[in-house]
């Protein structure tokens, strides 16, 4: 590409990129207001970004000049964010957890993905949307959905539907799960493990485990990190499956997309101490910001009618998937972490 072509491409990106930045800024503002009013953040900025983006797209449907920037933000920026997300993970977490617990978490995640996928397909969802919901519920909610989406080439409507309804269930699980601790007769450690296995985001795990005390929070955080570590292997396997299906786009890119390889390299670099500890918070903040920008772009490209039409089936599939994960996790926890 010549310098002139690069300049023209850059000019085409600017309007849509600025629109995404504006939506992302509004999302962060709503997140701050949520903290100020309620004292806790139940919904993340990326969820607000999708909602605001959809509202903006509905109000201004004819902004075709935004499309190049929206496409750049939803694809390229998201892929960079996924690579940087690897800085949050360390293989040392595996060593500190013990083999039995690691095997239990891996088994629950794998079985949950397979079972949730079948449940979602039974509910009439497309295979891509079913995979998004299965991975989101089984691994780490929003982060898993946005990481898996480009690998399986899910469209914006499918991603928005998966994110919207898992966000609702994530909040519900934080509010309901403490009741399990009160009435199920679990130990503090068992309940912390259950929270780590079933709740989506790390802040939500902390909120759900907090009623049982510090030990539950520490246990839940460790289990949650083990679940997050499954993200790399899962997207790697999905990339191979896409390749085996003869997907042309993936054939041109190689065995797996570049950002999956980048993600794994960053995880290994973090585990080997090659990334200075001082810059890790900056990398994670940058990853989060780019993800919110990508979700703003996603919202700006969503057809609200398509998402609404899938609403009932998606919430049914996501709810059934979460209940299945909770049941499996409970059985695994009381078996592995005996009194």
Tens-digit pLDDT profile for residues 5-45: 555 666 788 888 999 999 999 999 998 888 787 776 666 78
- Let me know: does 189 contact 216? Beta carbons within 8 Å: yes
pTM: 0.70
Band (151; pLDDT cuts 50, 70, 90) = confident
Instruction: Give the pLDDT confidence score for residue 180 in this predicted structure.
Output: 82
Mean pLDDT within 230-236 = 84
Residue 213 has pLDDT above 60, yes or no: yes
Instruction: Give the pLDDT confidence score for residue 70 in this predicted structure.
Output: 87
Which are the contacts of 49, defined by CB distance < 8 A and separation ≥ 6?
23, 24, 26, 27, 292, 293, 295, 296, 298, 299
Instruction: Give the pLDDT confidence score for residue 25 in this predicted structure.
Output: 94
Determine what percent of the chain is predicted with pLDDT higher than 90: 9
Q: For 89-109, how does the pLDDT look when each residue is reduced to its tens digit (9 = 90+)?
A: 777 766 666 777 788 888 999
Query: Residue 320, Cβ neighbours under 10 Å: how many?
Result: 18
Distance from the Cα of residue 325 to its chain's centroid: 16
Residue 221 has pLDDT above 50, yes or no: yes
Check residue 155 and give left, alpha or beta (phi > 0: left; psi -120 to 50: alpha).
beta
Instruction: Give the pLDDT confidence score for residue 304 in this predicted structure.
Output: 66
Instruction: Give the pLDDT confidence score for residue 118 in this predicted structure.
Output: 93
What letter would DSSP give residue 184?
Answer: S
Mean pLDDT within 215-225 = 81
Q: Find tokens 């496409």 and name the residue.
A: 71
Instruction: Give the pLDDT confidence score for residue 205 in this predicted structure.
Output: 78
Kindly list the domain boundaries of the chain, sorted by start residue.
82-294+304-336
Band (76; pLDDT cuts 50, 70, 90) = confident
Mean pLDDT within 197-220 = 78
Give the whole-angstrom CA distance, residue 197 versus residue 205.
Answer: 9
SS (H, E, C) 9-54: HHHHHHHHHHHHHHHHHHHHHHHHHHHHHHCCCCCCHHHHHHHHHH
Instruction: Give the pLDDT confidence score for residue 249 in this predicted structure.
Output: 46
Q: With CA atoms as reference, report the closest residue to 124 among 310, 302, 331.
A: 310
Q: For 70-90, b where at least 16 C-beta lie within 10 A, e where not — what string?
A: bebbbeebbbbbbbbbbbbbb
Mean pLDDT within 109-115 = 91
Instruction: Give the pLDDT confidence score for residue 253 in this predicted structure.
Output: 46
Instruction: Give the pLDDT confidence score for residue 308 in this predicted structure.
Output: 65
Residue 237 has pLDDT above 90, yes or no: no
């Amino acid at each position: 590409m010549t310098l002139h072509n690069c300049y023209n491409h850059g000019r085409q990106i600017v309007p849509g990129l600025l629109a995404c930045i504006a939506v992302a800024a509004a999302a962060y503002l709503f997140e701050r207001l949520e903290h100020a009013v309620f004292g806790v953040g139940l919904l993340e900025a990326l969820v607000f970004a999708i909602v605001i983006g959809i509202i903006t797209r509905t109000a201004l449907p004819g902004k075709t000049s935004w499309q190049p920037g929206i496409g750049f933000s939803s694809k390229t920026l998201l892929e960079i964010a996924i690579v940087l997300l690897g800085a949050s993970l360390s293989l040392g977490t595996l060593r500190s957890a013990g083999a039995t617990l690691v095997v239990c978490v891996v088994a629950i995640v794998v079985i949950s993905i397979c079972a949730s996928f079948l449940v979602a397909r039974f509910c009439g969802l497309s295979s891509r949307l079913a995979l998004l919901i299965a991975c989101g519920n089984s691994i780490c909610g929003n982060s898993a959905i946005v990481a898996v989406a480009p690998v399986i080439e899910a469209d914006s409507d499918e991603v928005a539907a998966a994110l919207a309804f898992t966000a609702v269930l994530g909040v519900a699980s934080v509010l309901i799960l403490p009741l399990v601790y009160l009435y199920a007769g679990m130990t503090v450690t068992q309940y912390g493990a259950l929270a780590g296995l079933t709740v989506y985001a790390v802040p939500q795990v902390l909120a759900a485990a907090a009623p049982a005390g510090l030990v539950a929070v520490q246990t839940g955080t460790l289990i949650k990190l083990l679940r997050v570590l499954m993200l790399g292997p899962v997207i790697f396997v999905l990339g191979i499956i896409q390749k085996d299906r003869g997907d042309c786009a993936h054939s041109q890119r190689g065995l797996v997309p570049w950002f999956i390889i980048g993600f794994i390299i960053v995880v290994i670099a973090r585990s080997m101490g090659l990334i200075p500890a001082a810059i890790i918070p900056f990398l994670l903040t940058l990853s989060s910001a780019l993800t919110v920008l990508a979700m703003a772009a996603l919202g700006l490209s969503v057809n609200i009618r398509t998402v609404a039409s899938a609403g009932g089936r998606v919430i049914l599939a996501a709810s059934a998937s979460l209940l299945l994960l909770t049941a499996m996790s409970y059985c695994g926890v009381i078996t592995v972490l005996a009194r």
